[in-house]
A and B are shown apart, each in its own frame.
Chain A
Amino acid sequence: GDSVTQMEGPVTLSEEAFLTINCTYTATGYPSLFWYVQYPGEGLQLLLKATKADDKGSNKGFEATYRKETTSFHLEKGSVQVSDSAVYFCALPARQSGGGADGLTFGKGTHLIIQP
């Protein structure tokens, strides 16, 4: 079935460092791809998305480009802040029987720790 694989953490960086969190996917066709972020003690929030190949999603200084050649959707940020410390999830639409607006299949999450 469709799945996503992302690097497991924790990833520890110093403030203002460059961030890359890798995500690769296995899917039939070219599904939309998503990054979600979970801050401590909170639910997940949509960070950015891309709906087709070569699209670039961006939000809050984060970017990710949908690359069908490498089946990847890596998350990047040029200069991280302590407030970016969180767990980041890569995701794609799940395939469930019965049709309808199915949920998402999530990667296992990458815990990012930014040190001052």
Chain B
Amino acid sequence: NAGVTQTPKFRVLKTGQSMTLLCAQDMNHEYMYWYRQDPGMGLRLIHYSVGEGTTAKGEVPDGYNVSRLKKQNFLLGLESAAPSQTSVYFCATVLGGKRGELFFGEGSRLTVL
């Protein structure tokens, strides 16, 4: 039982390049989230999904897009990476009815040069 798996775990991009982070979960959880973690800022919610085919904006959505075509996968895309998007990205899931009890992936460290 892998839980929440994020790929890739590390990536270096040049400004303007695009990439996609994949979050895969095998717990059949309805809700999925993408956060970014920055020093002194804690975690901030980028986008979230309450079910297959649905997405919504969080606190800091600009510059990111997401998709949830399958229940088990939640993709975070950067169309044109900027240095301000250098961060550690975490995916999290929660079972419906267990609000606040998030399961996190191990994180994806992204550096934009």
Contacts and interface: CB of A to CB of B under 8 A. Distances in A.
A103 B47 CA distance: 10
B41 to A, nearest CB: 6
A106 B99 contact: no
A34 B50 CA distance: 21
Contacts of B99: 32, 93, 101-102
Interface residues of B, number: 28
Contacts of B107: 42-43
Interface residues of A, number: 28
A103 B42 contact: no
Task: State the majority secondary structure of interface residues on A.
Answer: loop
B42 A44 contact: no
A109 B90 CA distance: 15
Interface of B: 4, 30-31, 33, 35, 40-43, 45, 48, 50, 56, 58-59, 90, 92, 94, 96-97, 99-102, 104-107
14 contacts: A42-B107, A43-B4, A44-B104, A89-B42, A96-B48, A96-B56, A100-B56, A101-B30, A101-B50, A101-B99, A103-B102, A104-B100, A104-B102, A106-B42
Question: 5 smallest A-B Cβ distances: which pairs?
Answer: A43-B104, A100-B50, A108-B42, A106-B43, A101-B31
Interface of A: 8, 32, 34, 36, 41-46, 49, 89, 91-94, 96-98, 100-104, 106-109
